[in-house]
Amino acid sequence: MLLLAVFVGFEVISKVPTTLHTPLMSATNAIHGIVLAGAIVIVAALAGVTHGPLLTTLSVAAVTLGAINVFGGFAVTERMLQMFRRKGDGK
Amino acid sequence: MNVAVDYADLVAIALFIYGLHELNSPATARRGNRLAMGGMAIALVGIIIQTGGAGWPSVAVGIAIGGLVGIYAAIKVRMTAMPQMVALYNGAGGGAAALISTVKYFTAAPVANLDAIVAVSLVLSAIIGAISFAGSIIAFLKLQEVMTGRPITYPGQQVVNSIVLLAILCLGAWFVATLGTLPEWAYPMLLLAALVLGVLFTLPIGGADMPVVISLLNSFTGVAVAITGFEINSTLLIICGALVGASGTILTVAMSRAMNRPLTNVLFGAFGSAGGTEPAAGSGGPQQIRATSADDVAVMLAYASKVIFVPGYGMAVAQAQHSVKALADQLEKRGVKVLYAIHPVAGRMPGHMNVLLAEANVPYNQLLDMEDVNSEFPTADVALVIGANDVTNPAARSVTSSPIYGMPILDVDKANNVVVLKRSMRSGFAGIENPLYELPNTSMLFGDAKASVDALTAAVKAL
């Protein structure tokens, strides 16, 4: 499964023209924001055990950073790609 | 319920892959990003269903803060600051991976005794995530010019880095060998050491190498996320992380290849680490240069038959892309053939110039890659260098002692006339003198790139 993903990663990227390298880097950056899902899992696991405020803070921080990665990553990519709209597409 | 979530994950992954595929072409790129967004939404809803909303206040607070900050910053930031925003968001992802490991470990501590695979993944994702976090922050500070963009070097740098790396490896090995039952102070030490290494490893890297570093850190975070997937037993994270790790690596290698330097050279033989003093190859005294005026250049441009624009970071800083397009329109109206020469690492990220020029509606077919445009220079009447420096430095061809020796450059010096638009005689981001400015066919037009280009447009119009 891991190897398949690596292979697909190589395959998908190697075709992208230079023009789109920056948006592409930004898009892959947003996709690793899936780490947010991991943060949600760890928060849920934490909810089942007694713990101090430090762990609560750290887990909220994990979710926050993950969310910044996801939302910011996609928003920046979207903004970059807006530049690629041609004149005819309407503003 | 779990089967439904598995299917949701499958759909999400398919959307990510298809979305990246759509990013292959400018025409479908936006749809690609939208598809990936949809995939992310499905995956996140799936994970919330799977956890049954346990610990929802923490999740809600984190997503609300992170979402607002992320989107607000992305909307507010200027186009020129995009590269450092990517660095910052990437750092956030790495930090999240490291924090997940941290919470996972302290939830189990002090009687940790972890599964072997969990112990290994926990330590690895903490280390790689922390390196990526700290490295990205430094990359951000350098690009934002909060700290100097020049390489920061000191004697024995590689030795210090090696010692920190060794400490990390020892602590990590100790953690795995004891399955996490080692004294609790060891883990924070490990995390701290990884953060320090992230900083130390990025400090000596400067100049034209920054895009490569951001791309590398991007793939680091991908790898950290994949390993986090093993740690918390999530196929979704493993696959997405591996996807990004692989694609980030491809991109990184492609970029260092464009600079004709092996990746190890970019990372460890960074510009300036050879001496840390001014390059000795220069003429020593002040450069012999000729300044010119907008009116003179306008005449030269208006009566040329072929002009090649060479945009660089200076154009990005001055937000001059629209002015450049306006000048090109004026020249084309007079029958001048206008081309744009795009060096793979011009600006701060690969494709940086393409994005900016696309914003100004410059047609794709006028943007030429280095391989295609270099044969055009000898027949060009004027090469107009707009805020580009290191990528035009002929020293890369001939001066073996130059730090950028061997880097493929745009052969602007082969054009009949070279006009360089530049704010001042300050050297480029890499801190190297450019002998191009001393050539007899070169003249300099000093000033802000946007102001200069606007002046040129007005002068051409007035002719």
DSSP B89-109: HHHHHHHHHHHHHHHHHHHHT
Looking at residue B269, the DSSP 8-state letter turns out to be: S
Give the A:B interface size as CB pairs under 8 Å. Answer: 355
How many angstroms away from the CA of A23 is the closest CA of chain B?
8
The verdict on a CB contact (< 8 Å) between A41 and B20 is: no
User: Touching check for A47 and chain B: CB below 8 Å?
Assistant: yes
Residues making up chain B, counted from first to last: 463
B77·A76 Cβ contact <8 A: yes
Of B253-262, B335-344, B390-399, the one with minimum mean pLDDT is: B253-262
**How many angstroms separate the CA atoms of B266 and B326, rounded?**
37
Contact at CB, A69 and B93, closer than 8 angstroms: yes
Could A70 and B354 be called an inter-chain contact, meaning their C-beta atoms sit closer than 8 Å?
A: no
Closest CA to B174 of B100, B108, B119: B119
Q: Which residue has better confidence, B410 or B25?
A: B410
A37 touches chain B (CB under 8 A): yes
A57 touching B (Cβ < 8 Å)? no
pLDDT tens-digit series, residues B401-436: 777 777 788 888 888 889 888 887 766 656 677 888
- B24 vs A15, A63, A66: nearest CB: A15
Residues of chain A with pLDDT under 70: 13-19, 83-91
* Catalytic option among B390, B411, B413, B454: B390
Encoded tokens for A30? 């947003």
* Per-residue CA distances from B220 to A25, A28, A64, B87 (Å): 13, 12, 20, 12
Question: Which residue type, as a one-letter code, is found at position A47?
Answer: A
The answer to whether B369 contacts chain A (CB < 8 Å) is yes
Report whether B219 contacts B244 (CB < 8 A).
yes
Task: Measure the N-to-C terminal CA separation of chain A; round to a whole number of Å.
Answer: 42
Identify residue B69 by its one-letter amino acid code: V
Residue B278 pLDDT class (50, 70, 90 cuts): very low
- pLDDT band, very low/low/confident/very high, at B157 (cuts 50, 70, 90): confident
pLDDT for B291 equals: 81
What residue spans of B109-156 are helical by DSSP H?
Answer: 116-143
User: Distance between CA B209 and CA B260 in Å, rounded?
Assistant: 12
Residue from B16, B18, B31, B33 whose CB has the most chain A CBs within 10 Å, to mutate: B33
Residue A16 touches chain B, beta carbons under 8 Å: yes
- What strand order describes the sheet that includes B382-386? B367-369, B337-342, B306-311, B382-386, B417-422, B442-446
Closest-approach residue (CA) in chain B for A27: B33
Among A31, A64, A39, A67, smallest CA distance to B102 is for A39
Arithmetic mean of pLDDT over chain A: 82
In this structure, are residues B142 and B206 in contact, taking their beta carbons and an 8 Å threshold? yes
Task: Return the pLDDT at B284.
Answer: 40
Residue among B24, B396, B244 at smallest CA distance from B252: B244
Share of chain B above pLDDT 70, in %: 90
Architecture of domain B294-462: 3-Layer(aba) Sandwich (3.40)
Q: pTM for this structure?
A: 0.75
Q: Is B47 on the interface with A (CB under 8 A)?
A: yes
Residue B374 structure tokens: 């270099």
Considering only alpha carbons, which residue of chain A is nearest residue B364?
A19
Q: Across-strand partners of B444?
A: B291, B420
Identity at A71, one-letter amino acid code:
F
Among candidates A48, A49, A59 on the partner chain, residue whose Cβ is nearest the Cβ of B58: A59
CA-closest candidate to residue B190, choices B251, B279, B129: B129
Report d(CA B139, CA B243) in Å as an integer.
Answer: 23
Ordered by start, the domain boundaries in chain A are 21-81
Q: Would the CB atoms of A38 and B228 count as touching at under 8 Å?
A: yes
Which residue do the tokens 């990227």 mark? A13
- Residue A51: closest C-alpha in chain B: B107
A21, A72, A84: residue with CB nearest B71: A72
Residue B110: per-residue pLDDT:
67
> How confident is residue B369, by pLDDT bands cut at 50, 70 and 90?
confident
Q: What is the mean pLDDT of chain B?
A: 84
CB contact under 8 A, A30 and B369: no
Percent of chain B with pLDDT over 90: 31
At residue B164 the predicted structure's pLDDT band, cuts being 50, 70 and 90, is very high
**Chain A contact present for B226, CB below 8 A:** yes
Taking CB atoms and an 8 Å cutoff, what residues of chain A touch B14? none
Report the residue of chain B nearest A72, measured CA to CA: B70
More confident residue, A86 or B388: B388
Report the distance separating Cα B60 and Cα B51, nearest Å.
14
A34 near B CB under 8 A: yes
As a whole number of angstroms, the distance between CA B336 and CA B217 comes to 43
The Cα–Cα gap between B241 and B235 comes to 10
Q: Residue B276: what pLDDT?
A: 35
Q: What is the pLDDT of residue B281?
A: 38
The amino acid present at A2, given as its one-letter code, is L
Residue B209 bears catalytic tag: no
Lowest mean pLDDT among B324-328, B424-428, B455-459: B424-428
Nearest to B355 among A40, A59, A80 (CB): A80
Distance from CA of A84 to the nearest CA of B (A): 6
Mean pLDDT along residues B174-194: 90
Chain B CA closest to residue A80? B355
Nearest to A30 among B36, B99, B354 (CB): B36
- Look at residue B279 in the predicted model and tell me its pLDDT: 37
Residue B93 to residue A66, Cβ atoms within 8 A? yes
> B231 to chain A, minimum CA–CA distance in Å?
9
CA–centroid distance for B124 within its chain: 24
Q: How far is CA B364 from CA A70, A84, B256, B355, in A?
A: 30, 10, 24, 11
What's the pLDDT at B1?
52
CA distance to partner chain A, nearest, from residue B289 (Å): 34
Pairing of strands B417-422, B382-386: parallel
Q: How far is B23 from chain A (nearest CA, A)?
A: 7
Q: What confidence category does residue B280 fall into, taking pLDDT thresholds of 50, 70 and 90?
A: very low
Instruction: Supply the ipTM of this predicted assembly.
Output: 0.90
Give which of B173, B178, B171, B221 is closest to B193, Cα–Cα. Answer: B171
Complete DSSP assignment for B300-346: HHHT-SEEEEEE-HHHHHHT-HHHHHHHHHHHHHTT-EEEEEE-TTS
Domain ranges (residues) in chain B: 1-75, 77-277, 294-462
Reply yes or no on whether the pLDDT at B285 is more than 60. Answer: no
**pLDDT for res B133:** 96
- pLDDT band with cut points at 50, 70 and 90 for residue B72: very high
More confident residue, B388 or B90: B90
Residue B27: count other Cβ atoms within 10 Å of its Cβ.
Answer: 11
CA B144 to chain centre: 12
Partner B contacted by A48 (CB < 8 A): yes
String of b and e for B282-314 (b: at least 16 CB within 10 Å)?
beeeeeebeeeebeebbebbbebebbbbbbbbb
Q: What is the mean pLDDT of residues B365-375?
A: 85
Residue A6 with chain B: CB contacts under 8 Å:
242-243, 245-246
